[in-house]
């Protein structure tokens, strides 16, 4: 259980890093890429039987949705 929490926190950290990169390079250039990447990872996690990948992609999607609401 602890492993999944660590994976989810790592996904959140990666989302936060991608947000900082977006702020540095500009919102318009990188606006859609993290959402598309997160959704692609989420869909692939159903094809690959790995709960860690599912947790990781869910964390990325949640992070992107939280950031979109706050901005």
The stretch 8-22 carries a mean pLDDT of: 69
Taking only the tens place, the pLDDT of each residue in 46-69 is 665 555 566 666 666 766 666 665
28, pLDDT greater than 60: no
* pLDDT more than 90, % of the chain: 0
The stretch 21-46 carries a mean pLDDT of: 61
Q: Where are the domains of the chain?
A: 2-70
The stretch 5-30 carries a mean pLDDT of: 66
Instruction: Note the pTM of the prediction, 2 decimals.
Output: 0.39
The dihedral of CA 13, 18, 20, 23: what is its sign? negative
């Amino acid at each position: 259980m602890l492993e999944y929490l660590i994976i989810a926190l790592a996904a959140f950290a990666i989302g936060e890093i991608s947000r900082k990169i977006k702020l540095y390079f500009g919102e318009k250039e990188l606006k859609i890429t993290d959402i598309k990447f997160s959704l692609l990872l989420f869909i692939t996690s159903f094809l690959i039987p790995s709960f860690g990948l599912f947790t990781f992609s869910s964390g990325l999607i949640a992070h992107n949705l939280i950031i979109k609401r706050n901005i």
